[in-house]
Chain A
Amino acid sequence: MADNTKSRHLPGDPKEHHIVPYKFHIGIWVGLIILTIMTVLVSVMGISLVAFSVITAMIIASTKAVVVANYFMHLKYENKLITWLMGVTIFLFIVFIAFTAFDYLTR
């Protein structure tokens, strides 16, 4: 019978797991709350931003998504390959939206 026990411990497996203190996670959470408050403030008070209000909201939301993915979902401590694959997925999603939108805008 094949011995596969070794093959089940590749980089990223439990023995190499990064341990993050609670304080750090709470700090990230507080940061996310602040960003959420900023989103609300921009939408309420930043009416003068007009078209830029959407862009500002998107930038804040994207920043939050990156923070969540990196720290809460441990992407930062994973193999770089996983980050790459995540990036490719996001890129393809943008392609789907952009190409379809291009057809609509030029029709």
Chain B
Amino acid sequence: MSVALAQPENFYQAKRGLFSWIFSTDHKRIGLLYFYAIISFFLVAMALGFLMRLELIAPGETVMGAKTYNQVFTLHGVIMIFLFLIPSVPAFFGNFLLPLMIGTDDVAFPKLNLFSWWLYVLGGIFALLTLVVGDGPADTGWTFYAPYSVKTGTNVTLAVLAAFILGFSSILTGLNFIVTIHRLRAPKMGWFQMPLFAWALYATAWIQLLATPVIGITLLMIIAERVFGVGLFDPSLGGDPILYQHLFWIYSHPAVYIMVLPGMGLISEMIPTFAKRTIFGYKAIAYSSLAIAFIGYFVWGHHMFTSGMSGPARVIFSVLTFLVAVPSAIKVFNWVATLYKGAIDVKTPLLFSLAFIFQFLLGGLTGLVIGALATDIHLHDTYFVVGHFHYVMFGGAGFAFFGALHYWYGKIWGKMYNEKRAQIAFWLMFIGFNTLYFPMLVLGLMGMPRRYYDYLERFETLNVISTVGSWILITGILLMIINLIVSRKSGKVAPRNPWGGTTMEWQTPSPPPLHNFDATPVVPEGNPYDHKNNITEKA
């Protein structure tokens, strides 16, 4: 295994005290600040999801009424999207790993990085404030569709302001990564020697930078309409509600790729390590990240097929939507080809990666069903859509996040997690996840509409199955978190490179020293996933 060198002081030991964290400009500490905030918000939103499923265990009112249910699903969506999924991988793994992976000592703008974390916290506080002030949290859904969002008495202004501030945090993170990747790569590292996670972050950063301002201005327009009565979206004031949907989805569809692209980057790191093979189609995966980011700008109209948008526009958006499937499929085929004839080592991160491929595939294929104009007319606003996006967002991005948490656990916290407990947690999560969300696809096909606290009796059996699935899933998640917390104390000391990874972050001690490397890191020659470059084998 790894070399036993005299360990230099790691970044935890370098400075101590609360202020050394919350005012730190070290990318690793900022990454961890993000992590603790993100995982806290995730647990809050998970609890809200649990309550929603509990409400739906039987028809009629069980644990909450209609308005509360509307507020709960809005808050669940806002927190999961803006406070968990969007920042999760770039702001935590990106911050922590990007400088290590490209062999530099920090991101390009460390102070801006700290500022973006503070903006994130501020946005989070605003989102939580909606719970306690005025008429309670918004009941509009996370999309804040006008004209309802202009008229409802609930705390839409505050929730929208929270999303606006969180958008700035996201823009600054994206800007930081673009400059870091252009300017701070190790001197000998060419573009095609960058790890694929860095490529995924790069593609994502451009979406964050170019698409997020659109949602910023749109949300301000909502506030202008609510507070000053400017007629932008409300027809009674001379506005157009479909304009809101255009502006909203111009950002929010590319935002879907902000959520899943970095996750795909994580999968591209884990699969070659556990297949002990060079990744298949390195350039194809790198370019497909850029292609997804680019094509993602042309397809937003597929969220609006039943909104009253014109017929020709709907046809064009439907056709363009199918183009996104191409680069996504390229990635999936390359991952599977990497596994082919590999010396596969089935560890928890690989299990999460395989689950990602399976679930993302289901999410992607159901996406084609609702991307097709004719079928979407029937399935729009049913549970099919809820099932679809949970398969992509949680089954995809979420599982990639948790898999990566195990993969880099040793690098980040310096201890190894307990493999057996982790695998039990994984299987509980996998079974729970599919028990929870697969019935939703069937319920949608049967015609059960989304966003209601109540349903017809004929939908009951599948809803009970789905709710039981949520209990299994939550048990798995809690077991995983307990395992990770306990392993922090009782786990074995992590070597530099526990998995035989080939990228540069494995060259430094676990956890890394303050300035990232204890010796000048060696840029692997040629393909970054060539196992000839494996430092454990050299040692």
Contact = CB atoms under 8 A, between A and B. Distances in A.
Interface string A69-107: 000000000000000000011001001100110111111
B104 A95 contact: no
B134 interface: no
B313 A95 contact: no
A103 B309 contact: yes
B183 A2 contact: no
A8 B184 contact: yes
B340 to A, nearest CB: 35
A99 B313 contact: yes
Contacts of A15: none
A52 B246 CA distance: 29
Given A8-B184, A96-B250, A1 B517 contact: yes
B17 interface: no
Contacts of B105: 1-2, 4
A6 B187 contact: yes
B311 interface: yes
A4 B104 contact: yes
Nearest to B516: A2
B429 interface: no
Most chain B beta carbons < 10 A, residue from A89, A96, A103, A107: A103
Interface in B229-286: 242-243, 246, 250
Contact of A2 (B250, B298, B311, B521): B521
A67 B223 CA distance: 36
Contact of A3 (B243, B513, B520): B520
Nearest to B246: A100
A103 B313 contact: yes
B515 A106 contact: no
Contact of A95 (B186, B298, B515): B298
Contact of A7 (B185, B294, B297, B312): B185
A20 interface: no
Contacts of A19: none
B16 interface: no
Given A100-B243, A102-B313, A107-B310, A8 B183 contact: yes
B210 A92 contact: yes
A7 B313 contact: no
A84 B441 CA distance: 42
Contacts of A107: 308-310, 313
Interface string B490-517: 0000000000000000000000010111
B32 interface: no
A89 B207 CA distance: 10
B297 A2 contact: no
B381 interface: no
B301 interface: yes
Interface in A29-44: none
A10 interface: yes
A2 B515 contact: yes
A39 to B, nearest CB: 26
Contacts of A92: 210, 297
A102 B311 CA distance: 11
A102 B243 CA distance: 12
B513 A95 contact: no
A74 B309 CA distance: 42
A95 B298 CA distance: 7
B521 A106 contact: no
A3 B518 CA distance: 10
Nearest to B314: A103
Contact of B515 (A1, A7, A8): A1
Contacts of A105: 310
Contact of A10 (B183, B242, B317, B518): B183
Given A2-B105, A4-B104, A89-B210, A102 B517 contact: no
Interface string B396-440: 000000000000000000000000000000000000000000000
Interface string B197-218: 0000000000000100010000
B182 interface: yes
A40 to B, nearest CB: 30
A99 B298 contact: yes
Most chain A beta carbons < 10 A, residue from B186, B187, B311: B187
A95 B297 contact: yes
Nearest to B513: A1
Given A104-B310, A106-B311, 19 more contacts: A1-B105, A1-B516, A2-B105, A2-B517, A4-B184, A6-B187, A7-B104, A8-B183, A10-B183, A88-B294, A89-B210, A95-B297, A99-B313, A99-B316, A102-B312, A102-B313, A102-B316, A103-B246, A106-B312
Interface of A: 1-4, 6-8, 10, 88-89, 92, 95-96, 99-100, 102-107
